[in-house]
Structures are given as C-alpha cells and as structure tokens.
Amino acid sequence: MESCSFLKQLEFLKLLKGTLVVVSFSYTLLSKQKILLKVKTPLLCWYPKTPGIWTKEQVEAWKPIVDAVHAKGGIFFCQIWHAGRVSNEGLQPNKQSPISCTNKPLTPKVQGQFSTPRKLTTKEVPSVVNDFKLAAQNAIEAGFDGVEIDGANGYLIDQFMKDQVNDRKDHYGGSLENRCRFALEIVEAVVKEIGANRVGFRISPFANYMESGDSNPEALGIYMAESLSKSGILYCHAVEPRMITIGEKKESPHSLLPIRKAFNGTFIVVGGYDKEDGNKVVMKDYADLVAYGRLFLANPDLPRRFELNAPLNKYNRETFYISDPVVGYTDYPFLEDSM
C-alpha cells in the first residue's frame, strides 16, 4: 500500500514555531516543559496511505522526520498497532482475510466495509508477537525514542483482551489471564528488544470501540496495570471511561483511579479533556500526564494557547480519516497566523 507523503510531513516540521508537531493523526502528550509526540504506524494496513514501519524503506523515510522533531527538543514515540479484524481483504497481502482472535465479523460501518476475519491458530500467535518486536526494533533504528504498544480502541490486542470478542478455547481465551496473555507476550518481547524504559502501553478497558466491549472492564484494567507494572515499562496510557465510543463523551460511573493506583509507573489519561479538566486531574494526582488528541490536531501550538488563554481552532471531524497528507492534518493555523 502507498504510504503517507513523508516529504510533505517534513516540510511541515521545518515550519515549527514552538515545541509541537503533529504528524498524521496522533495523540500528543503535554507535560510541564516537554512535548511527547506519538505517531501511529500499523504492522499491516487498515487505511490506505497509512504510514508504516515494517520495511527498510519506511525506516529510512522516518529518519529525517524523527531528526527534525529531535532538533526542536521533542520526544518522539512511535505507536505500533495491528488492526486485526478492523480491516478488509483489499488491504491485506494477497487479498487474504484479516486476522483476529475470532471469526466473528464486524457490523458494516460507514467508514469502511470489514471482511470476515480469520481466527489465528495457537501456533500462529507467536509470529504476530514477533511482528511487534520487529516493529519496535525498526522504530529504534529510525531514531524514535521509544514505542507505545496500542492495546486500545478495538484493534487486535484489544480484541484478544475483551470477552465480548475473544471466543477462543486455547490458552489465549477464556479467563482474564488468558485473554491478556497475547498483550503481555507482546510487551515482554518488545521490552526484551528495546528496554522497558522505551516502552508505553495504551489501554481502553471501558470502551466499546469497534464492538470490542468487556463484561468487567475495571477488572481488566487493574489486571493489565498490575501486569504492566511488573514489566517495568515507562508508562500506561488509559482512555477515560466516558469515551465509550469514538468521539462521544458520555457520563460514566466508572473511574480510572483504581487502574492508576495499580500501576507503578507514569500514568497518562486521555478522553475529552480541556485545559481546566487537565490541570485539575494532575493537581489531584489522578494522573501524571494528560493526552490531547483532537485539540492538538487542530491547534499545533496548543501549549502556548493554553498559557495565554487564547481561543482554540475548531477541529473538523470530517477530515480526520481522509488520506490527504495535509488537509485536516497540517493545515491548521498557528496562533499568530490566525490573528
């Protein structure tokens, strides 16, 4: 599949006026002085023109982009993911079926037609674990500071963890421990390859993205937090319970606090935060860091706007998933450009 235009992304990096860059559609993390930028790269394609990191050519193409971020003092993590059943045959090698922990298909969606997945055999699972390890290795070779393993949003790792998707009868299905085995084997492999201090993990236990819900999300979140703590990884990045579905913030009786208490490292929260909410949860020790996605996408100088209490650009949801490398991604104005 054709990848995103790295040259156009590099042009945008050269226009940086602060400490932030947004490359493709990524979640960016704001702390006191440092910016941690993440870019999402799949192990196999889901969207056309999605940037990847599974070939030597892709690794080389990332290097000038990573160098440009580092030149501005940024910390750059590569989020590695596998879509699993959230795909179709047209985006797979040799038009084969997408893989998952199940044969259950997704309901057809407006954004794309999903093919019926093929359930991985027990013997095939280690090869997918190895794919994540190789992606992490490639990310470090490209110069990234680390990787975030995406175990959220209904993609392959999340599919394994959630009991409303995982119907396996082997040691990757059934009990909570078995359903989390795949995720933790990936963490173990990646940590062994690049070091625990270069690894983060993203989780959305309460979400039902892509029809991936769970009957006991708090137990899932706590178990994963405790297990991730044992691995010694750098951070856990958790999606708020109010973000049950993509783009919709709803009232929820649940909280990430039990999961936060179960994790020993840096705890990052994301999901519908503004400046005031973000400051509040950090002050209350509910989280160490707050991630902003849509606001950062639309405001490439978001830290400065927060500092000045300046008005924010409104994001355009209709351009979130289009394949143009500029429109909706790098064309939002900086503060001085909009005045």
Of 317, 322, 267, 269, nearest in space to 292 by CA:
269
Is the whole model's pTM more than 0.75, yes or no? yes
> Average pLDDT for residues 75-102, to the nearest whole number?
89
For position 32, what pLDDT does the model report?
33
Range of the domain at 250: 6-338
For position 126, what pLDDT does the model report?
97
If one counts the domains in the chain, the total is 1
Lowest mean pLDDT among 63-67, 96-100, 240-244: 240-244
For position 90, what pLDDT does the model report?
80
- Number of Cβ within 10 Å of residue 243's Cβ equals 22
How does pLDDT run across 186-217, given as a tens digit for each residue?
Answer: 999 999 999 999 999 999 999 999 999 999 99
- Residue 212 inside a domain? The answer is yes
> Average pLDDT for residues 50-67, to the nearest whole number?
92
> Average pLDDT for residues 233-237, to the nearest whole number?
97
Beta-strand pair 146-151/75-81: parallel
With 90 as the cut, is the pLDDT of residue 258 above it?
A: yes
Catalytic, out of 27, 155, 235, 329:
155
- Number of Cβ within 10 Å of residue 157's Cβ equals 28
Q: How far apart are CA 103 and CA 85, in angstroms?
A: 9
- Residue 266 inside a domain? The answer is yes
For position 232, what pLDDT does the model report?
98
For position 34, what pLDDT does the model report?
44
SS (H, E, C) the chain: CCCCCHHHHHHHHHCCCCCCCCCCCCCEEECCCCEEEEEEEECCCCCCCCCCCCCHHHHHHHHHHHHHHHHCCCEEEEEEECCCCCCCHHHCHHHCCCEECCCCCCCCECCECCCCCEECCCCCHHHHHHHHHHHHHHHHHHCCCEEEEEECCCCHHHHHHCCCCCCCCCCCCCCHHHHCHHHHHHHHHHHHHHCHHHEEEEECCCCCHHHCCCCCHHHHHHHHHHHHHHHCCCEEEEECCCCCECCECCCCCCCCHHHHHHCCCEEEEECCCCHHHHHHHHHCCCCCEEEECHHHHHCCCHHHHHHHCCCCCCCCHHHCCCCCCCCCCCCCCCCHHHC
Task: Clarify whether 235 is annotated catalytic.
Answer: no
- Residue 299 inside a domain? The answer is yes
Contacts for 186-191: CB closer than 8 Å, 24+ residues apart? 186/129, 186/132, 186/133, 186/149, 186/157, 187/149, 187/228, 187/231, 187/233, 188/231, 189/129, 189/130, 189/132, 189/133, 190/132, 190/133, 190/136, 190/147, 190/149, 191/231, 191/232, 191/233
Tell me the CATH number at 74.
3.20.20.70
How does pLDDT run across 266-306, given as a tens digit for each residue?
Answer: 999 999 899 999 999 999 999 999 999 999 999 999 999 99
How does pLDDT run across 129-138, given as a tens digit for each residue?
Answer: 999 999 999 9
Lowest mean pLDDT among 33-37, 160-164, 234-238, 243-247: 33-37
Contacts of 50 (CB under 8 A, 6+ apart): 1, 3, 4, 24, 40, 41, 42
For position 19, what pLDDT does the model report?
34
Q: Quick one: pLDDT band at residue 3, thresholds 50, 70, 90? A: very low
Lowest mean pLDDT among 10-14, 48-52, 235-239: 10-14
For position 229, what pLDDT does the model report?
98
Q: Quick one: pLDDT band at residue 21, thresholds 50, 70, 90? A: very low
> Average pLDDT for residues 30-36, to the nearest whole number?
41
> Average pLDDT for residues 40-65, to the nearest whole number?
79
Q: Quick one: pLDDT band at residue 25, thresholds 50, 70, 90? A: very low
For position 314, what pLDDT does the model report?
95
- Residue 1 inside a domain? The answer is no
- Residue 231 inside a domain? The answer is yes
| Average pLDDT in the chain | 85
For position 324, what pLDDT does the model report?
81
For position 273, what pLDDT does the model report?
93
Q: Quick one: pLDDT band at residue 250, thresholds 50, 70, 90? A: low
How does pLDDT run across 139-181, given as a tens digit for each residue?
Answer: 999 999 999 999 999 999 999 999 999 999 999 999 999 999 9
> Average pLDDT for residues 18-24, to the nearest whole number?
32
With 70 as the cut, is the pLDDT of residue 31 above it?
A: no
For position 316, what pLDDT does the model report?
93
